Every structure is written in C-alpha cells, then in structure tokens.
Structure 1
Amino acid sequence: MKKLLLLFLPISVFAQTNLYENPDFDRIALDHKIIAMVPFKTQVKLRPKQMKEMTDEQLDRLERSEGESIQTAMYSWFLKRKKRGDMQRIEIQDPNTSNAILGKQNIDYNNLRDYTPMELAEILGVDAIISGNYETDKPMSEGASVALGLLIGFWGSTNNATVNMSVHNAKDGILLWNYNKKVSGSIGSSPDDLINRLMRKASRRLAYTKEN
C-alpha cells in the first residue's frame, strides 16, 4: 500500500485583526451558565481550474465538513480551559447535542443563517451562542485536505484563511464579542491549531476566560 505524505507547517498569524468587546460583556456574562457553538459558515475559494474538477455537491460537502470542524475545534478549546479551571461557572454544550437539537427543528448547515443568533440560542436552551464565518483557499481539516488532494491532485503547502467569530447574548440577541482575523498556514494544519492560535490573545478579552 502506498503511503501518503503530508507536509505539516506551523500556522502563522499576521496583521488584519479586528476585535470588538461589548462594554457590558463582563456584567452580562455573570448570568450565563451554558453556551453553545454552531457550525461556522464556510467558503472554500478554489481556483477556477480546481472548481471544474468538483461538483456543487462535492463543494458543499467540503465546506460543511470544514464548518463543523471549526465548531468542534472551538468546543475542544473551551473544554481545555474548563479543565484547567479557567471556566468553572460555564458549561459548554456538546456540538453533537447542538446539531441534533437543531436537526430536530429541520435546521442544518445549509439553512442555519436563516435564523438569528437569538432564535438559535432559544432553540438550544443556552445563554449565549458562538457562530462565525470561515473563508479559506484550501481546507484546513486533515480529512478535507486529503479528500481534496485525491480528488483534484492539489497538495499546496500553504493557505490563507479568514475567521470571523461572534458571541451573541441569548436574552436579547445583542453582540457581546466579535473577532476577525486573517491567518496563513499549511494544508496539514488542523482546525485545533487554527483556533488555538487565534484565541491565544483574543481570549484575554473574552469574558468567560478572563483572569479574575
């Protein structure tokens, strides 16, 4: 059996960072007991030649897989902080639970943006909802990267990605926190690596993880 060799390079974070924090986030967060994240809306911007090798259905599956990978990576990031003792008051809803609850309401990746963060939070029974957009010119998750490479023979070593994530309050739907950042990395970089790098500094202004 032939072995597949992937090039793993570290993700680097560069300029073009925008971070917004609601002045009342700390006060509002005191009443929060459980939060959830939904799949990130993803756009994989392939080159025209690469697009010709993919069907719309294949691209949709690829983007859905990426969006759910970012959702899972965010969940893992919060769990690590909770285990470390940084988030003793807050529970994080498992993405499998969140997606199952939404599925019972006929809400999935494709129509998720038809609902407001306030509506999604109410359906999920949480105090705040984390959502976002993710754009990349190559998939970040290993499975999607391998699938793309096998499908169209493309194994580029670097990629560009932009992540825009938000935290909305469930009670009134107001924006509590927004983080927009452009990053670069390798096709072998995982969503966990991406989120860890992104949140390294941004978490200092995230009410749930601030040092008391």
Structure 2
Amino acid sequence: MKKTFLLLTFLILFVASNSFGQAKQTYEIANLKQILTSHKTVAILPMRVTISYKKFPKNYNAADNAVQEREEGINMQQGMYTYLLRKSNDYFVTFQETQRTNILLKQANIFDKIDAITADSICKILKVDAVIQAGYAYQRTGSEAAAIAKTLVFGFGGSTASGSLTMQINDGKDGNLLWRFYKQMNEGVFSTADEMMQRMMKKVARNFPYEK
C-alpha cells in the first residue's frame, strides 16, 4: 500500500513538472533592453488564428471556418490593443491604433499576406519601430452544449478547447526577433475572442518587455 502511494505520488509530480515545464516558454535577445530604448511606437498586427476540431461538428464548412479564423484574429488584435491602451501608463511606448494599422496594411495590399512579408518591411509601411505578431491555435475538444449545461447546473463548465498562444516582437530596423512568448491555453465556455485576449494578456503581462 505504501509503495503504491509513493509510486502514485511520484507519477503525479512527474506529470505536473513536465506539464508546467511545457506550459510557458519565453525567449529574449541578449541586448533586448538596450534595443527597446529606441522604440517609441509599436503596431499590433492581426492575430493568426487556427481552429481545428478533434471531431468535426455536423455541417462543418471549411470556408466558414476560415472566415471565423480571420474574424477572431481581428477581434483578438483589437482586444490586445484595448488591454494595452487601458494600461498605457505602465508602458514606455505607445501602441498604434489597430484601425490605422489595418487600413495601412490594406492600402499596401498586404493585409492577407503578412506571413509573406518581412517584419522590417511591415514596420516601414506602418511607420513604427516594432511590430507585435501573435498566433493562437486551438483544437475544439469538448461539447459547448454540454459545457453550458454544466455551467448552469454547477456554476462551472470546464474548458471546451485546448490551444496555444505564441506572441513575439520584431524590430523595425532589421526585422530581427527580439522577444517571444509561448503559453498553453484552455478555452472555457462563454469565452469570446475579446475575453480570451484579456486572459492571454494577463498571463503575458509579467513577461511583457515594454513595461516601465
């Protein structure tokens, strides 16, 4: 009995340590602080959202899914801007209004081609010192209807999807990667794109390099 208990304890600790080790990763260039001192204005690009399914729902349509990915990417971009704007006194840079960012990207005919353009070229178009690029990939793993029912009965519904957030900052002078953050995420029931972005930014906040 004692051996079984010790074995279970070891397994739990082993799994937990590996889970936490993979849950969050942060990278920053060696002279990050020195480079950031020259930054004044930073743009937030539309997020790259990828939605997949563990089991395809009825009437799944790839075209509709692509539209949803695009819309959520823009909503999360705006959610990040709103979050940073509310806490603007905490940062030593200003963030370009997302509407202006998107208009300039469309005028340059690269709004849907961001992944094919270098970061320094994008910065020149937007006239900013750096860009924040982020991606959120998640897989629907649970039934939303079941999660809603659990929420109404028990007060919580658990997560309906599992995914990962990747966020990075690229310099406007040479396009080099300055900072990168990775975090595993779970999406709960009733989570909108804006709510998800608020949750993400709270997790990023402690590591965000533009804080004073």
TM-score by length of 1: 0.76
- Cα separation, 2, equivalents of 1:205 and 1:186: 23
What is the total number of aligned residue pairs between the two structures?
178
- Cα separation, 1, equivalents of 2:109 and 2:161: 34
Aligned: 1:198 with 2:200: yes
Q: For residues 1-212 of structure 1, what are the structure 2 equivalents within 5 Å?
A: 15=20, 16-50=23-57, 53-82=59-88, 85-87=89-91, 89-109=92-112, 111-138=113-140, 155=145, 157=147, 158-210=160-212
- Between structure 1 and structure 2, the one with the greater Rg is 2
Contact 2:80 2:201 in 1 (8 A): no
- Cα separation, 1, equivalents of 2:145 and 2:130: 38
The structure richer in helix per residue is 2
Q: 1:155 to 1:123 in 2, by over 3 A?
A: farther
Deviates more, 1:159-168 or 1:199-208: 199-208
TM-superposed deviation, 1:58: 0.9
Contact 1:73 1:192 in 2 (8 A): yes
Residues 50-81 of structure 1 deviation map (CA, whole Å, 9 limit, x = unaligned):
2x623332111111011112211111121121
Q: 1:202 to 1:186 in 2, by over 3 A?
A: closer
TM-superposed deviation, 1:137: 2.2
Secondary structure, counterpart of 1:69 in structure 2? helix
Which residue is equivalent to 1:147? none
- Cα separation, 2, equivalents of 1:108 and 1:58: 19
Deviates more, 1:153-162 or 1:89-98: 153-162
Contact 1:155 1:187 in 2 (8 A): no
Q: Which amino acid aligns with 1:70?
A: M
Contact 2:167 2:180 in 1 (8 A): yes
Contact 1:38 1:71 in 2 (8 A): yes
Q: Which amino acid aligns with 2:45?
A: V
Secondary structure, counterpart of 1:45 in structure 2? strand
Q: Which runs of 5+ in 2 are unaligned?
A: 1-18, 148-159
Contact 1:81 1:209 in 2 (8 A): no
Q: CA RMSD in A?
A: 2.1
% same residue = 26
Residues 16-47 of structure 1 deviation map (CA, whole Å, 9 limit, x = unaligned):
21111222221111111100111111110024
- Cα separation, 2, equivalents of 1:40 and 1:191: 11
TM-superposed deviation, 1:205: 3.1
- Cα separation, 1, equivalents of 2:109 and 2:70: 16
